[in-house]
Amino acid sequence: MTLLRLATCALAAVALVGLGLSASDEASADEKTFISIGTGGPTGVYFVVGNSVCRMVHKEAAEGRSSGRQHGIRCAAPSTGGSTYNIGQICQGELEFGVAQSDWQFHAVNGSSEKVTNCPGLRAVFSVHGEPFHLIAGEGTDIASFTDTMGMRMNIGNPGSGQRGTTEVLMEGYGMTTDDFAAATELTSSEQSQALCDGKIDAYGYTVGVPNAGVSVATDGCGAYIVDLDGEVEQQLVADNPYYAFTTIPAGTYKTTADDVTTFGVMATFVSHENVPEDVVYEVTRAVMENLDDFRSLHPAFRNLDPADMIKNGLSAPIHPGAAKYYAEQGWM
């Protein structure tokens, strides 16, 4: 477990008593707790989620100032492989928090998919933005449905990413395997758009918040377009599974989005583990919820964040007791 607490040493406590301060007054300022949040590729929205949360946690801490919350939490949000990687690492105690798609959160707690670690101890904290599944097709490919990718060079995403799993779900729905593609590449989210523009691949699947700078590299940069995905298989997926819903990528989002795009999507969710102490999750939740205006301003995908939705939409794991405590105090739960 990377969660590391450096306790105040006995000598320091003795010295504080000499200054007329009790050890408990100072304990939280001297005691540091290090937390890591798993995100996704550096050009994705998860990376912004994780780093925004850290920013709010640090802002709240305000150690060294006369006012401010002295929780002693130090936060880092490194780039990672994405949803299923984050869940696996949280389950092993290597990460305290992570961002994960609602479909993979569901499967992790229910043990219902081999594509993600079975993790009964996974806990929900809140949900963030919606993530439409994007099928991005290169200019001139004429791809108009998922099955049109047959015979093409398709990026199915890096192992550990949420989009890799969701692309595979779609492939299974259509009875396709990687043999149906001329090539199935495993590029990361930060590589795929440039590869498309360089003519190395014809299409890729990506589950991501809107708008996304990575997607615009392909759409605005080299005329790639987002395909409507509302066929029979997508309709069945939405009808059968609580974590999928139809959604729209609005006209005008990117240069090539002349009309609304209809596709299915998931929610990005913020998750933790039952072994992460209640006070740590409480402080992180509190920092986020008490600075929601800041959060909303940090990425256009966060613009409409509303606590009423954040504490329920897309959450299938039990809410972590530290988060539940804060929501109960607010009268939200």
Residues at the site binding ligand GLU, with contacts judged by CB under 6 A: 40-41, 44-46, 82-83, 101, 131, 161-163, 189, 207-209
For 171, residues 6+ apart whose C-beta sits below 8 A from its C-beta are 156, 177, 178, 180
Three-state helix/strand/coil letters over the chain = CCCCECCCCHHHHHHHHHCCCCHHHHHHHHCCEEEEEECCCCCCCHHHHHHHHHHHHHHHHCCCCCCCCCCCEEEECCCCCCHHHHHHHHHCCCCCEEEEEHHHHHHHHHCCCCCCCCCCCEEEEEEEEEEEEEEEECCCCCCCCHHHHCCCEEECCCCCCHHHHHHHHHHHHCCCCHHHCCEEECCCHHHHHHHHHCCCCCEEEEECCCCCHHHHHHHHHHCCEECCCCCHHHHHHHHHCCCCEEEEECCCCCCCCCCCEEEEEEEEEEEEECCCCHHHHHHHHHHHHCCHHHHHHCCHHHCCCCHHHHCCCCCCCCECHHHHHHHHHCCCC
Cβ at position 38, least distance to ligand GLU in Å: 10
Is the dihedral angle over the CA atoms 33, 37, 42, 48 positive or is it negative?
negative
The C-alpha atoms of residue 12 and residue 90 are separated, in whole angstroms, by 34
Give 95 or 208: the residue with its C-beta nearer to ligand GLU. 208
CB of 92 to ligand GLU, least distance (A): 18
Nearer to ligand GLU, 46 or 97 (CB): 46
The answer to whether the CB of 12 falls within 8 A of the CB of 52 is no
Give the residue with the Cβ less far from ligand GLU, 128 or 324. 128
Closer residue to ligand GLU in complex, CB, 51/163:
163
The smaller minimum CB distance to ligand GLU, of residues 16 and 122, is found at 122
Residue closer to ligand GLU by CB (options 133, 327) is: 133
Q: How far is the CB of 176 from ligand GLU (least distance, A)?
A: 21
Between residues 42 and 321, which has the closer beta carbon with respect to ligand GLU? 42
**Rounded to the nearest whole angstrom, what is the least distance from the CB of residue 46 to ligand GLU in the complex?**
4
Taking the complex as a whole, the smallest distance from the CB of residue 210 to ligand GLU amounts, in Å, to 10
User: CB 213 → ligand GLU: shortest distance, Å?
Assistant: 10
φ/ψ region of 175 (left if φ > 0, alpha if ψ in -120 to 50, else beta) reads left
Q: Are 130 and 267 in contact (CB under 8 A)?
A: yes
Nearer to ligand GLU, 68 or 159 (CB): 159
Minimal distance, residue 118 CB to ligand GLU, in Å: 18
Rounded least distance, CB 189 to ligand GLU, Å: 6
Q: Work out how close the CB of 332 gets to ligand GLU at its nearest, in angstroms, rounded to a whole number.
A: 26
Considering the complex, state which of residue 48 and residue 288 has its C-beta at the smaller distance from ligand GLU: 48
